[in-house]
């Protein structure tokens, strides 16, 4: 394998959007391009060198050359935007008709506004394209409602895969004499084992912490997954007018109470996103990490620690489903002047060439079934549970994951974790404020 896993798709969970200018993007759209594609993340047009592994990654100039080779006479340009403020940046780009194809993890909102093109007509008319190329659950997971749809439709197709999972330190478990985590651990099992491994390590004498999750950004998603482990659901519906939230349900209360207890087994600075600086290193002092992402694999394999940090599945409900469906799809902007060529790029994105390019050069988890046969995948045993995690997340994607209810729930969760409000108050306010936002949007 040319390059160890890098952290690209792990950031596919939505960041809070603010009204930042679109000028944060790496390069402006070219008026001479026949097709413009907007990508999100750490991608670069030029070749780069990974600061951790020292290995080189071929830039997107190679993908540009390959697409143009397949489509003689066509000029394609890529615009790279950062994850920070990407929702607002994408909205600004669409308003200015600045791209044809968009990487769009927040497709739910954009489709509801009628800003992206439905893809099913392209799929039905294209005899050379088969949705079966994608891994199970992915196409279904990205289905959303357009303004006039009665059922979820395909407005985007997957390009970057991502799976959330639980990871633990096998060495610390052995030192504490605790049985390894189950492949599908329950919330109760994780709490019990985290409690057992908090304190002075019986072998090294160092302070150990039983568990970790960051107290910022993904707190609401961690809470939702714990809630699923208790058998609950975030709510029902996909279109805003049909959504009924269950943020104040009994299972959500159990989940937040569990998080408050878990806070006793974590570094106190977790609430600020700190305290895990030694996680996934030889000097690690944390036994379990929940709501982990595939970006971890880069660090592990770069240090030859893959045998020390096994991966198990997120908390699941009785149907074996749990965790937010994540990753990124591609969508065609409604204002694109070359929709047929845009469709050709979406097909190109599902090709073995482009998926290998994203994986072997940039570390993005593949979304096609064929990837399981690649040597670069098979030689990394930890990829097997990561790929499995992509198939058992909650689908369709939480419709509020890229919208204000997520950040309302996040803020209230943090309030409960810091003791600023009770569990009951936090969830009641999260429910009330989120419903008010939905009704007033």
Q: What is the pLDDT of residues 17-69, one digit of tens each?
A: 333 333 345 555 556 789 999 999 989 999 998 765 677 889 999 999 999 99
What number is the average pLDDT over the span 77-92?
Answer: 90
| CA-atom Rg of the chain in angstroms | 22
pLDDT at 27: 58
Least confident of 78-82, 135-139, 339-343: 135-139
Statement: the pTM of the whole predicted model exceeds 0.85: no
Decide if 259 contacts 270 (C-beta within 8 A): no
- pLDDT value at position 114? 96
Q: pLDDT class for 13, splitting at 50, 70, 90?
A: very low
Nearest to 211 by CA among 256, 168, 149: 168
pLDDT at 10: 33
CA–CA distance, 50 with 44 (Å, rounded to integer): 12
User: What integer pLDDT is reported at residue 23 of this predicted model?
Assistant: 38
Cis peptide bond prior to 396, omega within 30° of 0: yes
Band of pLDDT at residue 6, cut at 50, 70 and 90: very low
For residues 404 and 437, what is the distance between their CA atoms, to the nearest angstrom? 7
Q: Quick one: average pLDDT of 104-126?
A: 94
Dist CA 86 CA 99 (whole Å): 14
Q: Which of these, 278, 320, 266, 327, lies nearest to 141 by C-alpha position? A: 327
For residue 67, give the nearest of 109, 97, 101, 31 by alpha carbon. Answer: 101
* Residue (of 231, 224, 306) closest to 259 by Cα position: 224
Cα angle value 375/140/81 (rounded, 5°) = 70
What pLDDT, on the 0 to 100 scale, is given for residue 1?
Answer: 47
Rounded mean pLDDT of the chain?
90
| Residue 275 Cα to chain centre, angstroms | 22
What is the arithmetic mean of pLDDT over 149-173?
94
Give per-residue pLDDT as tens, 283-297: 999 999 999 988 788
């Amino acid at each position: 394998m040319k390059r160890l896993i890098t952290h690209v798709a792990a950031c596919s969970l939505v960041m809070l959007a603010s009204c930042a200018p679109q000028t944060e993007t790496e390069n402006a759209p070219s008026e001479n391009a026949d097709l413009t594609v907007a990508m999100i993340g750490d991608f670069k047009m030029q070749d780069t060198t990974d600061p951790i592994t020292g290995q080189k990654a071929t830039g997107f100039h190679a993908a540009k050359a390959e697409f143009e080779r397949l489509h003689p006479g066509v000029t394609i340009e890529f615009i790279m935007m950062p994850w920070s403020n990407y929702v607002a940046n994408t909205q600004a780009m669409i308003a200015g008709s600045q791209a044809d194809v968009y990487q769009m993890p927040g497709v739910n909102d954009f489709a509801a506004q009628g800003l992206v093109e439905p893809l099913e007509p392209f799929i039905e008319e294209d005899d050379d394209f088969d949705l079966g190329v994608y891994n199970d659950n992915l196409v279904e997971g990205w289905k959303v409602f357009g303004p006039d749809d009665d059922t979820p439709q395909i407005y985007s197709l997957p390009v970057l895969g991502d799976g959330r999972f639980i990871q633990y330190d096998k060495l610390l478990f052995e030192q504490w004499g605790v049985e390894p985590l189950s492949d599908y651990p329950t919330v109760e099992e994780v709490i019990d084992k985290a409690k057992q491994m908090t304190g002075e390590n019986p072998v090294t004498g160092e302070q150990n912490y039983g568990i970790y999750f960051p107290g910022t950004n993904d707190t609401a998603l961690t809470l939702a997954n714990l809630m699923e482990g208790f058998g609950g659901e975030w709510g029902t519906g996909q279109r805003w007018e049909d959504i009924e939230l269950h943020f104040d349900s009994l299972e959500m209360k159990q989940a937040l109470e569990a998080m408050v207890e878990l806070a006793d087994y974590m570094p106190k600075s977790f609430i600020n996103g700190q305290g895990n600086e030694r996680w996934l290193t030889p000097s690690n002092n944390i036994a379990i990490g929940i709501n982990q992402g595939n970006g971890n694999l880069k660090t592990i394999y770069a240090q030859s620690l893959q045998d020390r940090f096994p991966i198990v599945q997120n908390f699941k409900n009785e149907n074996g489903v749990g965790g937010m469906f994540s990753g990124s799809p591609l969508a065609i902007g409604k204002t694109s002047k070359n929709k047929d060529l845009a469709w050709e790029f979406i097909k190109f994105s599902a090709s073995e060439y482009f998926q290998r390019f994203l994986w072997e050069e940039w570390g993005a988890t593949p979304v096609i079934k064929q990837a399981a046969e690649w040597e670069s995948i098979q030689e990394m045993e930890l990829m097997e549970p990561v790929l499995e995690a992509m198939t058992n997340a909650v689908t369709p994607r939480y419709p509020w994951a890229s919208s204000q209810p997520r950040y309302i729930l996040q803020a209230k969760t943090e309030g409960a974790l810091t003791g600023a409000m009770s569990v009951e108050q936090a969830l009641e306010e999260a429910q009330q404020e989120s419903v008010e936002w939905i009704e007033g949007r």
